[in-house]
Amino acid sequence: MSAPHVRRAAAADARALSALGRLTFSQTFAHLYPPEDLAAYLDEAHGAERYGDWLADPAYGLWVVESAGALIGYAMAGPCHLPHPEVTTSCGELWRYYLLREHQGRGLGAPLLAAALDWLDAPGRRLWLGVWSENFGAQRLYARHGFAKVGEYAFQVGQTRDREFILRREPAASASRRNNLD
């Protein structure tokens, strides 16, 4: 059996990413939503066609953690779409960052996060992300990577609205070198 490794996602991964996105979001947040709200959100936000579109668009980057031929985690980055007055077209956003619950805490997330942040990082570029207001572990993780809370907004899942924090990381003096995951 091969060791888990991070790689850039390919067009052929769209269906597997869709299934993984649905599962990881459900593992993390299903307890918060009525079943009909969760189902509507998963259909809208995690369809295979959407992943196919993102994979085909050079403005987006997706990485996966693969183990024994199965995807067990993923990260997605691209243009910032958060509702904050300081967001510009040059800003980048970490859109999604998930590992299957049974693979968390094994050191697999660090290289996945590094791949996405390295890809986003550019001289003078602010990086953004949204995180659920009660996801304290994620907030601590992002703080360790230089992100700070700069706002809030309502994240909608079906008819449910969650309180979401907007985090931002100021540009580094010089962008880090991109690794060979592109």
Instruction: Give 127: exposed, middle or buried? Use CB within 10 Å, 0-12, 13-18, 19+.
Output: buried
CATH of the domain at 121: 3.40.630.30
Number of domain units in the chain: 1
pLDDT in tens, 80-89: 999 999 999 9
pTM of the model: 0.88
Q: Do the domain assignments include residue 180?
A: no
pLDDT in tens, 32-53: 999 999 999 999 999 999 999 9
pLDDT for 148 beyond 80: yes
pLDDT in tens, 66-107: 988 889 899 999 999 999 999 999 999 999 999 988 888 787
How far, CA to CA in Å, does 144 sit from each of 18, 63, 75, 92, 138? 29, 21, 18, 18, 10
Q: Do the domain assignments include residue 101?
A: yes
Q: Do the domain assignments include residue 174?
A: no
Please give the residue range of the domain that contains residue 38. Answer: 5-169
What whole-number percentage of the chain has pLDDT above 90? 78
Q: What is the DSSP string of the chain?
A: -PPPEEEE--GGGHHHHHHHHHHHHHHHHGGGS-HHHHHHHHHHHS-HHHHHHHHH-TT-EEEEEEETTEEEEEEEEEE-----TT--TT-EEEEEEEE-GGGTTSS-HHHHHHHHHHHH--TT--EEEEEETT-HHHHHHHHHTT-EEEEEEEEEETTEEEEEEEEEEPPPSSPPPP-TT-
Q: Do the domain assignments include residue 176?
A: no
pLDDT for 176 beyond 80: no
